[in-house]
């Protein structure tokens, strides 16, 4: 019988490790610049509202938490 090959795990499916200090720094920079794009020099293709591509959800959640607290 031939050996069955396992399907490779897609690289996009792997969970990324969250760097909390980086998220806090990015959210602080985002608040200071009043919503302008953060780290434009690293991410030239920004999202629709000018948010950085990396950690967008975490930054938004951190901003909401900081506004409530």
Rounded to the nearest integer, the mean pLDDT of the chain is 61
Stated as kind and residue range, the H or E segment containing 28 is helix 20-32
Looking up tokens 């938004």 gives 60
Domain boundaries, the chain: 16-68
Q: Phi and psi dihedrals of 41, rounded to 5? A: -70, -25
pLDDT higher at 45 or 34: 34
pLDDT (0 to 100) of residue 69: 52
pLDDT (0 to 100) of residue 3: 61
Report residue 45's pLDDT band, with 50, 70 and 90 as the boundaries.
very low
Taking the whole predicted model, whether its pTM rises above 0.75 is answered as: no
CB 52 within 8 A of CB 39: yes
Distance CA 56, CA 61 (A): 9
């Amino acid at each position: 019988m031939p050996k069955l090959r396992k399907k490779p795990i897609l690289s996009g499916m792997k969970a990324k490790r969250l760097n909390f200090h980086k998220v806090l720094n990015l959210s602080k920079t985002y608040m200071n610049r009043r919503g302008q794009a953060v780290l434009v020099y690293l991410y030239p293709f920004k999202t629709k509202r000018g948010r950085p591509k990396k950690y967008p959800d975490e930054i938004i959640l951190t901003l909401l938490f900081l506004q409530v607290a």
